[in-house]
Amino acid sequence: MISEVRHKAALAQEAAATMNRLSTEQKNTALLHMADALLTEQTAIIEANGLDLARGREQGTSPSLLDRLALNGERIEAIAEGLRQIVALPDPVGELLEKFDRPNGLKVEKIRVPLGVIGMIYEARPNVTVDAAGLCLKTGNCVVLRGGSAAIESNRKIVEVLKNALAATDMPAEAIQLIEDSDRASVNEMLKLNGLLDVVIPRGGASLIRNVVENATVPVIETGAGVCHTFIDGSANYGMAEEIAFNAKVQRPSVCNSMETLIVHEAFAERHLAALAGRFVEAGVELRGDEKSRRLVEGAKPATEEDYRTEYNDYILNIRIVDSLEDALDHIRHYGTKHSECIVTEDAANAERFVQEVDAAAVYHNASTRFTDGFEFGFGAEIGISTQKLHARGPMGLPALTSTKFRIYGNGQIRG
Amino acid sequence: MISEVRHKAALAQEAAATMNRLSTEQKNTALLHMADALLTEQTAIIEANGLDLARGREQGTSPSLLDRLALNGERIEAIAEGLRQIVALPDPVGELLEKFDRPNGLKVEKIRVPLGVIGMIYEARPNVTVDAAGLCLKTGNCVVLRGGSAAIESNRKIVEVLKNALAATDMPAEAIQLIEDSDRASVNEMLKLNGLLDVVIPRGGASLIRNVVENATVPVIETGAGVCHTFIDGSANYGMAEEIAFNAKVQRPSVCNSMETLIVHEAFAERHLAALAGRFVEAGVELRGDEKSRRLVEGAKPATEEDYRTEYNDYILNIRIVDSLEDALDHIRHYGTKHSECIVTEDAANAERFVQEVDAAAVYHNASTRFTDGFEFGFGAEIGISTQKLHARGPMGLPALTSTKFRIYGNGQIRG
């Protein structure tokens, strides 16, 4: 018997053939229908979500996870508004990227086309179900959704609502598929569905992403892990450096673009580190330091090799003192995950060298690493932040969900 | 003990940190040194190649494989000339792709950067060793080469010559690494070297590529398989259709962009198919057909489902008669590998529909599919033809060997 995963991916692949013929207007109409339907059906959605929440509470799920899972009228309104924002974004499909004539008379065009069918693998956040569907459909893709089993009732109802909404539009309802099988095996089957899935995008914690990267034979866009650094150079403006470092750690420690290690030039450290460290401690940040910094920062624990490699996503910060820009670059090369890195300095040559040499998706001079984000970059919604170098790197806007195609027009050319 | 693969990939990764600082001129100088050294050392290279050839003959290697392996003065001159052509190509690294200011004053730039370290896995063609090294170095990448064991003596000498040539330049000799371990396990180790290899590119036959796609955890650019079709519409110009179909099959059947199945509209078939089939038979092509075409084509065997899915790379052709454009599109959707597809027609609406709806890297109107090639598209040398939708699709020029990086310039911005 054919599995649920294979069956639904095949339905999506079939629908994909008609998706790339839809105009921008047809796609936007469908997205607006979806947004309206979420509001009309919000009572039913909140009811289904209640079942997930009750089961979660029974199973002793942590309050923070329950909070991520919970839906109410306000949150559904925000999710619907997300779809309307996607409507407002320019449609990348059909964009002419290159056009050239060859000496033999062939006319070649390179245009943007949908990727085809995108597999989304994520955790128990029902908002991702709608966001991902909206972004994929806007770019003419079909989507196979596999959310965490803790949100299954919510996702089932949401996808039912979205598919019903599509029935009144030109977009095939089969463009959205939800995998309901909660067994981990259904994820692993998706990962090997070459020919039916064109790409898999994981969104979630480190272990979810590791499983996808390690087991997928379908091409993957890896998103996630960030061990981000802020380097305060000897010449940094003290006030600016303090604000940037504090913001990078404390404004939202749980996200991938927050700072995990503060690197400080010794000239700066001697005059200002104790004060800055005090501010972190006041904000509830646990400090771990190298030998030099522990002489200046009272109460800091020793930082281990392992600490320097860890994405805490929490109120914990490593501090390291260096005596040159080179040492800071070395540390970042050695321990960084190539996500977001920052130098705070008034020295233009040091800034340029840092920005040039650091190999990361986003490199900052005098600004917080927290800006690595699709909304902050002005891309509108984002499908995630790519931490790989292939296809897309950093915050991914709609073009990251497209591929290209060459169209070649001739008048009988053959190869000699 | 650290393995050869891990050791050499780490050396390459270390060298990669300095590679992106090289100017175009420094890189071109290094490439010209490499070209000169190949000619200066050609006697030694031909000698080493002789050892591979002798071993191949002893082991009963086929004449066609021995021919691909063999080097002589003329071939080495052609390989060196290939490097000089790479020098003449524009350097994509450093190109400013996007630049925008945000309302908060952040200045964002998106620029092209090298991928980092590229793993090349290929068969016993020593020319690929030089081509791949040249293309990777021009784009500021380091390369870890793992060629077929049948060419190991040739590759060892070639890489020695290239690395010695680099010693006199600004480019680190460690930018080129050759894996000498001939065990298959060394390939499989490369495929899982996340963090040390940024991408793996396989070049070779179906089984080599399948092994890479199925086992790699490092991101892959898949190249290869093409089950390409030519559809002759009812309104096609007969002479043009015959030339295009004949060229697509016979000019070089062994390559991925050659035709495997000819689809013919019945209006065309009744008047012209017998004559066209005769020309194929005369050229030594074995014909396999559906029921309708076998009534018109004497001696054609029945084509099976399996035949329609097979990349023959040989003098074998399937023929299928359809009574509509829809049926042709259905056949291609069902059996095609999304490589190169062609319609021959004088009907502009049918042409546009075909070019729009067929999902393939290259879609042709009135020209042979044999043009899907980096040289033919004017990209200069090519690293391969991507058959995936992620990152690059179709013939890959130098930009396919790059990634991007965001540089963000602020004056103290923090996130609210």
- To which residue do tokens 């972004």 refer? A135
Tokens of A131: 């966001």
Helices (H), B60-151: 63-69, 73-88, 126-138
Q: Is A355's Cβ below 8 Å from some Cβ in B? A: yes
Which tokens is A256 given?
């991938």
Phi and psi at residue A31, to the nearest 5°: -65, -40
Read off the pLDDT band of B381 (50, 70, 90): confident
Distances (CA, A) of A201 to A32, A145, A197, A218: 25, 10, 11, 10
Number of H helices, E strands in chain B: 16, 16
> Do B264 and B357 reside in the same domain of the chain?
yes
Tokens found for residue A14: 């079939």
Specify whether A83 is located in the same domain as A204.
yes
Of A116, A366, A389, the CB nearest to B412: A366
B404 to A394: CB separation less than 8 angstroms, yes or no: yes
Residue B358's domain comprises 228-371
Whether residue B267 sits in one domain with residue B150: no
pLDDT for A1 equals 82
Q: CA-CA distance, A410 to B344, in Å (whole number)?
A: 10
Are A202 and A258 found together in one domain?
no
CA distance A389 to A409: 33
**pLDDT surpasses 90 at B20:** no
**A370 burial via Cβ count (<10 Å: 0-12, 13-18, 19+):** buried
Burial (CB count within 10 angstroms: exposed 0-12, middle 13-18, buried 19+), residue B117:
buried
What does pLDDT average to over chain A? Answer: 95
Tell whether ipTM is more than 0.90: yes
Q: What is the CATH number of the domain that holds A216?
A: 3.40.605.10
3-class secondary structure, B62: coil
Measured between alpha carbons, how far is A62 from B32 in angstroms, rounded to an integer?
A: 63
Q: Could you give the CA distance from residue A47 to residue A116 in angstroms, rounded to a whole number?
A: 33
Cα separation of A283 and A258, whole Å? 15
Higher pLDDT, residue B378 or A277: A277
**Domain count of chain B?**
2
Residue B388, chain A, CB below 8 Å: the answer is yes
Out of B106, B217, B377, closest to residue A367 by CB: B106
Confidence of residue B211 (pLDDT cuts 50, 70, 90): very high
Distance from B102 to chain A by nearest Cα, in Å?
7
**Residue, of A145 and A374, whose pLDDT is higher:** A145
Instruction: Determine the Cα angle at A282 with ends A279 and A283, to 5°.
Output: 90
Mean local confidence (pLDDT), B105-130: 95
| Chain A with chain B: Cβ pairs closer than 8 A | 207
Together in a domain, A85 and A217? yes
B331 within domain boundaries: yes
pLDDT of residue B33: 97
Query: Measuring CA to CA, which residue among A140, A204, A143, A164 is closest to residue A8?
Result: A143
Return the exposure string of A153-177: e unless at least 16 CB atoms fall within 10 Å of the residue's CB, then b: bbbbbbbbbbbebbeebebbbbbbb
Going by pLDDT thresholds of 50, 70 and 90, the confidence category of residue A46 is: very high
Pair (B279, B193) in one structural domain: no
Mapping DSSP onto H, E and C, the string for B202-264 reads EECCHHHHHHHHHHCCCCECCECCCCEEEEECCCCCHHHHHHHHHHHHHCCCCCCCCEEEEEE
Q: At what angle do helices B274-282 and B238-250 cross, to 10 degrees?
A: 30
A197 with A334, same domain: the answer is no
Nearest CB partner across the interface for B367, out of A16, A377, A408: A408
**Same domain flag for B174 and B269:** no
Residues A233, A211, single domain; the answer is no
Give the mutation candidate from A406, A409, A411 for the B interface (greatest B CB count, under 10 A). Answer: A406
Q: Is B409 in contact with A365 (Cβ distance < 8 A)?
A: yes
A166, part of any domain = yes
The tokens describing B6, both together, are 């891990």
Dmax over CA atoms of chain A, in Å, equals 79
Measured distance CA(A109)–CA(A186) in Å, rounded:
39
Instruction: Please report which confidence band the pLDDT of residue B206 belongs to, taking 50, 70 and 90 as the band edges.
Output: confident
The number of C-alpha atoms within 13 Å of B213 and in the hemisphere containing its C-beta is 24
* Contacts with B128 (C-beta within 8 Å, 6 or more apart), sequence order: B120, B122, B147, B203
Domain co-membership, A204 together with A261: no
Q: Would the pLDDT of A381 be above 80? A: no
* Cross-chain residue pair A403–B415, CB shorter than 8 Å: no
In a domain, B386, yes or no: no
pLDDT in tens, A251-266: 999 889 999 999 999 9
Measured CA angle at A58 (ends A53, A59), to 5 deg: 95
Q: Are residues A245 and A201 in the same domain?
A: no
**CA A361 – CA B15 distance, rounded (Å):** 20
**A351 in the same domain as A213:** no
The tokens of B183 are what? 């065990």
> How many whole angstroms separate alpha carbon A408 and alpha carbon B342?
9
Residues of B in contact with A217 (CB under 8 A): 213-214
Residue A89 pLDDT grade (very low, low, confident, very high; cuts 50, 70, 90): very high
Q: Which residues of A touch B378 (CB under 8 A)?
A: 100, 102
CA angle centred on A25, ends A22 and A29, rounded to 5°: 100
Scan residues 234-253 of A and list those with Cβ closer than 8 Å to B: 237, 240, 243-244, 246-248, 251-252
Contact A247/B415, CB-based, under 8 Å?
A: yes
Write down the pLDDT at residue B224.
78
- CA distances from residue B54 to A288, B46, B50, B65, B70 in whole angstroms, order as listed: 63, 12, 6, 13, 10
**Closest approach of B132 to chain A, Cα-based (Å):** 18
Interface of A with B in 165-194 (CB under 8 A): 194
b/e for B46-85, b at 16 or more Cβ within 10 A? bebbeebbeebeeeebeeeeeebbbbeeebbeebbebbee
**What percent of chain A is predicted at pLDDT more than 70?**
100
pLDDT of residue A353: 96
Question: Taking a C-beta distance cutoff of 8 angstroms, is the pair A117, A142 a contact?
Answer: yes
Q: Which residue carries 């190169």 as its tokens? A: B340
Distance of CA A306 to the CA centre of its chain: 25
Alpha-carbon span B416 to B414, nearest angstrom: 6
Buried b (16+ CB within 10 A) or exposed e, B197-221: bbbbbbbbeeebbbbbbebbbbbbb
Distance CA A88, CA A82 (A): 10
φ and ψ at B13, to 5 degrees?
A: -60, -40
- Gap from A177 CA to chain B (nearest CA, Å): 21
Secondary structure in 3-state letters for chain A: CCCHHHHHHHHHHHHHHHHCCCCHHHHHHHHHHHHHHHHHCHHHHHHHHHHHHHHHHHCCCCHHHHHHHCCCHHHHHHHHHHHHHHHHCCCCCCCEEEEEECCCCCEEEEEEEECCEEEEEECCCHHHHHHHHHHHHHCCCEEEEECCHHHHHHHHHHHHHHHHHHHCCCCCHHHEEECCCCCHHHHHHHHCCECCECEEEEECCHHHHHHHHHHCCCCECCECCCCEEEEECCCCCHHHHHHHHHHHHHCCCCCCCCEEEEEEEHHHHHHHHHHHHHHHHHCCCEEEECHHHHHHCCCCEECCHHHHCCCCCCCEEEEEEECCHHHHHHHHHHHCCCCEEEEECCCHHHHHHHHHHCCCCEEEEEECHHHCCCCCCCCCCCCCEECCCCCCCEECCHHHHEEEEEEEEEEEECCC
**Residue A414 domain flag:** no
Region class of B391: left (phi > 0), else alpha (psi between -120 and 50), else beta: left
Q: Is A76 inside a domain boundary? A: yes
A403 touches B at CB < 8 Å = yes
A343 within a domain of the structure (yes/no):
yes
Smallest Cα–Cα separation from B152: which of B183, B192, B107, B185?
A: B183
pLDDT greater than 90 at residue A383: no
% chain A with pLDDT above 90: 90
- pLDDT at residue A224 is higher than 80: no
R_g (Cα) of chain B, nearest Å: 24
- The DSSP bridge partners found for residue B107 are B101, B409
- A381 falls within a domain: no
Across the interface, of A221, A368, A412, the residue whose CB is closest to B244 is A412
Q: What is the CATH number of the domain that holds B331?
A: 3.40.309.10
pLDDT single digits (tens) A286-339: 999 999 999 999 999 999 999 999 999 999 999 999 999 999 999 999 999 999
B382 within a domain of the structure (yes/no):
no
CA distance A214 to A280: 37
Q: Using CB atoms and an 8 Å cut-off, which of residues 322-351 of chain B contact chain A?
A: 333
**Chain B residue with the nearest C-alpha to that of A19:** B357
Give the length of chain B.
Answer: 416
